[in-house]
Amino acid sequence: MTAPAHVAVVQVAPRLLDLDANVKLTVSAVETARERGADIIVLPELSLSGYMFETIDEVRSCAVTATHPVFARWAQALAGSPGLVVGGFVERSGADLHISAALVSAAGVQAVYRKTHLWNREKRFFTAGVDAPPIVDTCFGRVGVLICYDLEFPEMARSLAIRGADLIAVPTNWALDARPYGDEPPQVMLARAAARTNHVYVACADRSGRERGQEFTGGSAVIDTAGWVLERPDAQGFAIAPLSLSTARERQISRVNHVFDDRRPELYTGVFEALGTV
Amino acid sequence: MTAPAHVAVVQVAPRLLDLDANVKLTVSAVETARERGADIIVLPELSLSGYMFETIDEVRSCAVTATHPVFARWAQALAGSPGLVVGGFVERSGADLHISAALVSAAGVQAVYRKTHLWNREKRFFTAGVDAPPIVDTCFGRVGVLICYDLEFPEMARSLAIRGADLIAVPTNWALDARPYGDEPPQVMLARAAARTNHVYVACADRSGRERGQEFTGGSAVIDTAGWVLERPDAQGFAIAPLSLSTARERQISRVNHVFDDRRPELYTGVFEALGTV
């Protein structure tokens, strides 16, 4: 069994197009999470830029690479800890712009994921990633990552869990939807289903606030392997839960049932392939 | 657009091991649903037998084939309607016993599905089906079927929706679980996620009551393509909702987003295949 980790999601409202302010905001958030005992700290999608871009120049004005000093500052805030910060940013790569998440340890950037499923206007400005999400090994367990709309594709959490992730960190910016028949944000319901069907922990860091008329959901949640929300953000935007991440690997859910071994790929893999060629 | 269908789930408590009583119970349930305007009527899993078997002889005592008169009586109750009854039963096939669901029109049995994912003690008595679930075309839309634990595998609803199902009928027997962090049964949460991620209607007919100390959830629900529960059972166990099933096919969820076309099979199909060979 791995060491228990305090997993924190931090729900903040970045300031639109103000990279300097957001560097300070996220460094401060990581420092505070550390003071509160967090080992693994998840920040929202696009936490260094905000979301409601209107022009490509606006996007470029906030775009950075993994060598930007902000990541060294996240690493510095982790000094002496074997933990991880997972946070979203606009990544510049040649002429391309990506919605990315950096996975940063005290030693620096361990991996960068480029969002592979782009929602709506994101397609105007951003290029979808071509690589499957990375998994970073820590002494607490293995941390995978998805970003926002990725979670609407059950295949993504499924494949991360199959590949060995114990915890899926989800930087997200959930635009507020109407909820005619219930109170729970539908995106949280999907995150819970991803957790339960894969027996994996899920930590979603949503953002709060409003930008250019768009309100965000503030639906951050730390979710256990049965799909229950263990923690939601407090008044300061922090949700912190102690998790023994390696328990995600105990997928024998009855004497004769195993979450993965009970799958019947021969019944559906062909259907997925056929669609892939359409 | 297809004709609007009134989709009913009927939550009843079969009498354990009493085939005759359960024939009457289900025929009466279908008749009442028809009187209340239902076109497509979903009955629970194992609605002709109950669930808590202790011996193989008990299972055999309730096992029937698709030629059993009960299905003709369901068909008769549909006379003059282009609708469908989907209901669960123990199917005998040579020496094998299956947890099956019949899809019955006024003209008789259109298809039988044998549950492909068996939960816990079911493995003692039953043989898992080897065929993917059928889809039956009606003037209201295309009706696919899953049974209970099948729904815990997101691939199943995904592949039914990709193959063209507008509505997934789910006969189920959900054993009552503890709900330490919420009120909604986790199985309903998974059904809602299946509906939302695939933009498909889902109608779950759970059972009520208790057998040999096992309490059931009574979690029946008619769920729309956004994953919201439209109807839960009334005091008589009926939940009936009018649905335009072919609207499930409108999977363009923004100007540039499509539920299926946005998938990235190249990122995960290989992972599924690799697991299949383990």
Dist CA B129 CA B135 (whole Å): 15
Contact of B218 with B233, CB cutoff 8 Å: yes
Helix (H) or strand (E) holding A69: helix A69-77
| Contact at CB, B255 and A120, closer than 8 angstroms | yes
Crossing angle of helices A186-198 and B186-198, rounded to 10°: 110
Report pLDDT digits (tens) over B95-142.
999 999 999 999 999 999 999 999 999 999 999 999 999 999 999 999
Dist CA B10 CA B42 (whole Å): 6
| Contact at CB, B162 and A229, closer than 8 angstroms | no
pLDDT of residue B200 exceeding 70, the answer is yes
CA angle B124, B127, B128 (to 5 degrees): 115
Instruction: Report in angstroms the alpha-carbon separations of B11 from A24, A99, B172, B241.
Output: 56, 46, 10, 14
**What does the pLDDT read at residue A89?**
98
**DSSP letter string, A111-174:** EEEE-SS--TTHHHH-PPP-SPPPEEEETTEEEEE--GGGGGSHHHHHHHHHTT-SEEEEE---
pLDDT of residue B278 exceeding 70, the answer is no
pLDDT tier, B274 (very low <50, low <70, confident <90, very high otherwise): low
Listed in order, strand segments (DSSP E) in chain B are 5-10, 40-42, 84-93, 96-105, 108-114, 135-138, 141-145, 167-171, 201-205, 210-211, 214-215, 221-223, 229-231, 238-243, 252-254, 257-258
B197 contacts in chain A (CB < 8 Å): 152-154, 190, 193
Q: Catalytic residue at A204?
A: no
Active-site residue, from B62, B91, B115, B204: B115
B119 contacts in chain A (CB < 8 Å): 254, 257
Dist CA B214 CA B199 (whole Å): 34
Residues ≥6 apart with Cβ < 8 Å to A107: A75
Residues ≥6 apart with Cβ < 8 Å to A235: none
Q: Which two tokens stand for residue B45?
A: 């899993």
Q: What distance, in Å, lies between the first and last C-alpha atoms of chain A?
A: 44
How many CB pairs (< 8 A) connect A and B?
163
Dist CA A140 CA A6 (whole Å): 9
Active-site residue, from B62, B122, B148, B231: B148
Crossing angle of helices A69-77 and A19-35, rounded to 10°: 10
The mean per-residue pLDDT over the stretch B158-176 comes to 97
Helix residue spans in B117-209 (DSSP H): 122-125, 154-162, 186-198
B180 contacts in chain A (CB < 8 Å): 228
| Alpha-carbon gap: B75 to the closest alpha carbon of chain A (Å) | 29
Radius of gyration, CA atoms only, chain A: 18
Instruction: Report in angstroms the alpha-carbon separations of B15 from B22, B65, B149, B150, B234.
Output: 6, 19, 22, 24, 20
Instruction: Return the residue of B nearest to A224 by Cα.
Output: B181
| Contact at CB, A275 and B120, closer than 8 angstroms | no
Contact of B245 with B199, CB cutoff 8 Å: no
Contact of B85 with B43, CB cutoff 8 Å: yes
Instruction: Report in angstroms the alpha-carbon separations of B46 from A50, A90, A99, B115, B268.
Output: 52, 53, 48, 11, 35
| Alpha-carbon gap: B143 to the closest alpha carbon of chain A (Å) | 17
Q: Which residues pair with B40 in a beta bridge?
A: B7, B84
Residue B151's closest CA among B101, B89, B111?
B101
Q: Catalytic residue at B204?
A: no
Instruction: Report in angstroms the alpha-carbon separations of B237 from B38, B83, B207, B216.
Output: 14, 20, 9, 13
B263 contacts in chain A (CB < 8 Å): 153, 155, 275-276
**What does the pLDDT read at residue B264?**
95
Instruction: Return the residue of B nearest to A115 by Cα.
Output: B264
Dist CA A109 CA A140 (whole Å): 17
pLDDT of residue B1 exceeding 90, the answer is no
| Contact at CB, B189 and A186, closer than 8 angstroms | no
Does the interface predicted TM-score (ipTM) exceed 0.90? yes
Dist CA A180 CA A199 (whole Å): 29
**What does the pLDDT read at residue B277?**
41
Dist CA B171 CA B146 (whole Å): 7
Report pLDDT digits (tens) over B41-59.
999 999 999 999 999 999 9
| Contact at CB, B272 and A162, closer than 8 angstroms | yes
Give Dmax over CA atoms of chain A in angstroms.
Answer: 57
Instruction: Return the residue of B nearest to A257 by Cα.
Output: B120
**What does the pLDDT read at residue A273?**
67
Report pLDDT digits (tens) over B206-265.
999 999 999 999 999 999 999 999 999 999 999 999 999 999 999 999 999 999 999 999
- In the predicted model, residues of chain A with pLDDT beneath 50 are 277-278
Q: Catalytic residue at A115?
A: yes
Dist CA A225 CA A222 (whole Å): 10
**What does the pLDDT read at residue A278?**
35
Active-site residue, from A62, A91, A148, A204: A148
CA angle B152, B156, B159 (to 5 degrees): 155
